Chain A
Amino acid sequence: MDVSQYLEIFIEETKEHLQSLNEHILVLEKEPENEATINEIFRAAHSLKGMAGTMGFQKMQRLTHDMENVFSEIRNGKMKATSDLIDVLFKGLDVLETYLVNIQSEGTEGDYDSQDIIDALNQILDKGSGKAATSQAVQKPNDTKKAVADTGKYKFLSISLEEHEKMAVAKAASLNLNVIGLTVYIQEDCMLKGARAFMINRVLEEHGEIIKLHPSAQDLEDEKFDFDFSAFIITNETPDKIIEYVMSVSEIKEVVADYIRLDENEFNTYMTAIKQDEEGTSAPKAPKELDSLKEGGPKQPKQTGKPVANRSVRVDIEKLDVLMNLVSELIIAKNSIVSSSSAFDQQANPEFFDQIEYLERITSNLHESVMKVRMVPIESVVNRFPRMIRDLSKTLDKEMELFMTGEDTELDRTVIDEIGDPLMHLLRNAADHGLESREERIKAGKNPVGSIFLDAYQDGNNVVIEVRDDGKGIDVEKVKKVAIERGVITPEQAERMSDKEIIDILFVPSFSTASKVTDVSGRGVGLDVVKSKIEALGGEIEARTKKNVGSNFIIRLPLTLAIMQALMVKISSEKYALPLGNIQTVENVASKDIKIVNNTEVLDLRGKLIPIIRLGDILDCNKGEDKDELFVVVVKKGERMAGMVVDELLGQQEIVIKSIGKFIKAHKIISGATILGNGEVALILDVNSLI
């Protein structure tokens, strides 16, 4: 069956339904009487079952069917959503997710058999409602018979057949075959009615030949019909049998069918015509629709002929990558025009410079638009966390709650794809190591239910995600002890290290303070993996902690990965780019104002002492003469500030970030390179890592 063109839609929508089920079942657990939630669950489960059925994924269909039975009982008030039941339902969702993953990667559901869950569900059903549940996803064809009296439903009767179609009817009658007309009503909440119609036609074709479809096969495929369509079929079967076959496709509301007979006059006319025809050309003219259906549906250039109501387009991320690359190239080209235009006299060519300015504006806007297209709300990653925390709460036997804010904060798609795992890891850490056991919390006078917070917000050119808990905080002494034991630091070093530096050891590879290795976290790969992942995304992570108040992991990520605004500076004779997002101010400072405190150079910046970093020294640049006046670029990271000494300011520029490759090593503050207007390469300095 060719439903592959629907597979992507199926996967996307199944994901959405599963997510919706996860969320609503969580709500249901807290508010078992919430009717809106139950209805929502029922709706999602029902659509899921229907779609799985359409696509021929039977295991999925069967499992959702049984889950739906349970939801139906809950909805009818015959059962209560107990914690046991919720557990089973979640297990069911997990299995469905596994199926989906398999379908996505291999195209099939895989071997996993969900019988145990189905049994568990049925057991609960039996117990809960006191009646046996059917465990097979079979629709009852008898239901439809009730409606037979309603002749208004026999829409096919009012469809007039064309000459050649009547001829086919007459011929069939002469061969003692039945001609049956039928009208199929698809359920109004059906998601893929085009696919549904396609399946029905397949079923019909198995039992006969379709001579007419109304609307046409093409319209059916393009979903250009309401929820019903009619068909005429030549078959050996009776109308009742045909109804039964069609009803075996799920999401069918109703089917009506009856024999089609021509009156005698017409029959005789056509029979004579057929006879004449056979004498002339031997092959009878095949009805048009039949032809096209036999070829597996008309293969016209695929139109996404959906109604205009849908205003969004699904685009492959690779296409967006290509677009982003082209925009990058454009910006480099623009920069080189700007740089060569500096040779012209601005007074003499005012129009030229107007146009250049215009070009700069357009490329900036273009970049911004492409960037926005690539932005996805962080919600798509974090919405699975409430469920995870619930599960953790059970496995760890700790009561806890997750509070999330800023789910609508947007990040580049590439970042979104990668950020899920690190966040999950931090949340697990918070649940496992951060939060105390219930008894400890009561002893400490805290709310026995622990809280974990996940806050996302935009801060300048960065997006900040904080994972916070109100647990016992990081035990600095313990970290110190373990670090010495593991040989990460020497006892002497430990003496001299500040608490902050000790906490940073947590990010050193293969360091885990969990005294007990649990299933949840502490498998040796830990925060160092989180850190390297976040750094690979151009971000950074910082830990803060307060004893008995809790820990806070702060992740900063760049809004965009490819293009940014930078301040171009000269250090010695070399050009460098400083990301504008971090820069607070640029100061012109007399060198005598820089004082030495505790062996470090500091500057009194309007009442605040900030450390001074001479970039030239760090980057091993050639030393120039000492100057009386210095340019100090003031950079801020979180609460901390520092001043970077540079030799010359070259101005602000939009730069395209390029990697310098894996072969060459570089100072850690070099985060990449960019190509300047004149073709030279300038390195990008991630000054944040110096603060």
Chain B
Amino acid sequence: MQIIDLKLGQELYGIDIRYVNSIIVMQNITRVPKAQPYYLGVINLRGEVIPVMSLRRRLGLEDDVFTPSTRILILKPDDSSESVGLIVDEVNEVVTLEDDSIKKVNYDEKDEKAVFSAGIGKNGDELINILNVPAIVSEKNV
């Protein structure tokens, strides 16, 4: 499985490369009133209007501080659906993980954010929290 390796603060996260359409630099975001708190607004991506989400807010972390290394990942949760942007602190590289190096983690049942993880991958010494993209985009897990 190929994943895009990205950073929020010091933690490493991974997103299955199949979901990723493109990676762009930070853009002007237009705020959308009464949107879900983790949606910062919408951007113009080559003539299309695309909603963008703060991954930090979605995972319940501290708010973003935009730096020159901040990136927006443009994801397509499934073939037919619309695109959605995901703001992250930094994008590192594409890594290939063997299937048996990815471990399902038994989280505390009460941890409602657990559904956002699809497993923990091991890349050398580093542990990568692989994100469950459909769950992150889906409304059911608010």
A residues near B (Cβ < 8 Å) are: 329, 332, 574, 618-621, 658-667, 670, 673, 675, 679-683
> Bound complex: CA of A675 vs CA of B27, how far in Å?
14
Q: Are B49 and A661 in contact (CB under 8 A)?
A: yes
A15 to B35, CA, bound (A): 46
- Bound-complex Cα distance A670 to B47 (A): 19
CA distance A574 to B42 in the complex (A): 13
State how many angstroms separate the Cβ of A655 from the closest Cβ of chain B.
Answer: 12
The answer to whether B33 and A620 have CB atoms under 8 Å apart is yes
Q: Does B84 contact A (CB under 8 A)?
A: yes
CB contact under 8 A between A661 and B44, given known A680-B30, A682-B30: no
> Which residues of chain B from 65 to 113 have a CB within 8 Å of any chain A CB?
81-84
What are the 5 A-B residue pairs with the smallest beta carbon separation, nearest first?
A664-B51, A667-B34, A619-B33, A681-B30, A658-B49
Question: Besides A660-B51, A662-B82, A673-B42, 20 other CB < 8 A contacts?
Answer: A574-B30, A621-B33, A660-B32, A661-B49, A661-B83, A661-B84, A663-B39, A663-B51, A663-B53, A663-B82, A664-B39, A664-B42, A666-B32, A666-B33, A667-B33, A675-B47, A680-B28, A680-B30, A681-B30, A683-B33
For B82, list chain A residues within 8 Å (CB): 661-663
Cβ of A682: which chain B residues have Cβ within 8 Å of it?
Answer: 30
Is B15 an interface position by the 8 A CB rule? no
Residue among B33, B44, B51 with the highest chain A CB neighbour number at 10 A: B33
Chain B residue nearest in CB terms to A573: B31
28 contacting pairs across A/B (C-beta < 8 A): A620-B34, A621-B33, A660-B42, A661-B49, A661-B82, A661-B83, A661-B84, A663-B39, A663-B82, A663-B139, A664-B35, A664-B42, A665-B35, A665-B36, A665-B39, A666-B33, A666-B35, A667-B32, A673-B42, A679-B44, A680-B28, A681-B28, A681-B41, A681-B42, A681-B49, A683-B30, A683-B33, A683-B42
- Report whether B32 and A663 are in contact in the complex, using a CB–CB cutoff of 8 Å: no
What residue in chain A is nearest B34 (Cβ atoms)? A667
B43: chain A residues at CB < 8 Å are: 681
Tell me whether B31 and A661 are in contact (CB under 8 A): no
Which residues of A lie under 8 Å from residue B44 when comparing CB positions?
675, 679-681
Contact B47 A666 (CB under 8 A): no
Q: Which of A618, A621, A661, A670 has the most CB of B within 10 A?
A: A661
Question: How big is the B interface, by class?
Answer: 20 to 34
Compute how far the CA of A680 lies from the CA of B30 in the bound complex, rounded to whole angstroms.
Answer: 8
- The complex places the Cα of A683 from the Cα of B44 at a distance, in Å, of 12
Q: Is the CB of B32 within 8 A of A683?
A: yes
A680 to B47, CA, bound (A): 10
| With contact pairs A663-B84, A664-B42, A681-B42 given, residues A658 and B48 touching in the complex (Cβ less than 8 Å) | yes
Contacts from B to A (Cβ < 8 Å): 28, 30-36, 39, 41-44, 47-51, 53, 81-84, 137, 139
Residues of chain A within 8 A (CB-CB) of B30 are 574, 673, 680-683
B125 to chain A, nearest CB (A): 36
Asked whether, in the complex, the Cβ of A661 is within 8 Å of the Cβ of B50, the reply is: yes
Q: In the bound complex, what is the Cα–Cα distance between A658 and B48 (angstroms)?
A: 7
Query: How far, in Å, is A672 (CB) from chain B's closest CB?
Result: 8
Contact for A670 among B28, B32, B39, B81, CB less than 8 A: B32
- Closest-CB distance, A345 to chain B (whole angstroms): 27
Closest A residue, CB atoms, query B82? A661
Known contacts A661-B82, A681-B42, A681-B43; A666 and B34 CB within 8 A of each other: yes
CB-defined contacts of B36 to chain A, threshold 8 Å: 664-665
A332, B44: Cα distance in complex, Å: 12
**Shortest distance between the CB of A682 and any CB in chain B (Å):** 7
B84 touches A574 (CB 8 A): no
Write out the residue numbers on chain B whose beta carbons fall within 8 Å of the beta carbon of A329. Answer: 47
- Which A residues lie within 8 Å of B84 (CB)? 661, 663
Neighbouring B residues of A619 by C-beta, 8 Å: 33
Closest to A676 in B: B44
Whether B34 pairs with A660 at a CB distance below 8 angstroms is no
> A661-B82, A681-B43, A681-B44 given as contacts; is B49 within 8 A of A675 (CB)?
yes
User: A683 to B31, alpha carbons, bound, how many Å?
Assistant: 9
Rounded to whole Å, the gap between the CB of A643 and the closest CB of chain B is 20
Contact B47 A332 (CB under 8 A): yes
CB pair B49–A665 under 8 Å, yes or no, is no
Nearest to A657 among chain B residues (CB) is: B49
Contact of A665 among B28, B31, B34, B50 (CB under 8 A): B34
Q: Chain B's nearest CB lies how many Å from the CB of A269?
A: 73
Q: How far is the CA of A433 from the CA of B84 in the complex (A)?
A: 45
The closest CB in chain A to the CB of B30 belongs to A681
Cβ of A322 to closest chain B Cβ, rounded Å? 15
Smallest beta-carbon distance B82→chain A, Å: 5
**With A and B bound together, what is the CA distance between A479 and B53 in angstroms?**
42
